[in-house]
Amino acid sequence: MSQQDAEPVLEGMTNTEQTSVLITGGNKGLGLETARRLGELGWTIFLGSRDAERGRTAAAKLAADGANVVMVPLDVTSDESVADAVRRVREHTDRLDVLVNNAGAPGNVVTPADATAGELHAVYDTNVYGPVRVTHAFLPLLRAAANPRVVMVSSGGGSFAVVTDPGQPVSKMHELAYSSSKAALNMITVRYAQALPEIKFNLLTPGEVANRKFTATDMNHHTGQLTVTEGTDPIVELATLGPDGPSGIFIDRLGPVAW
Q: How far apart are CA 143 and CA 215, in angstroms?
A: 32
Q: Beta strands 207-208 and 213-214: pairing type?
A: antiparallel
| Identified catalytic residue from 124, 129, 178, 192 | 178
Beta bridge partners of 70: 46
Has 124 been annotated as catalytic? no
Q: Do residues 160 and 148 touch, judged by C-beta distance below 8 A? A: no
Rounded CA gap, 92 and 87, in Å?
A: 9
Give how far the C-alpha of residue 128 lies from the chain's centroid of Cα atoms, to the nearest Å.
11
Q: Closest by alpha carbon to 154, among 192, 173, 128, 182?
A: 182
Interatomic CA distance for residues 16 and 210, integer angstroms: 40
Q: Enumerate the active-site residues.
A: 178
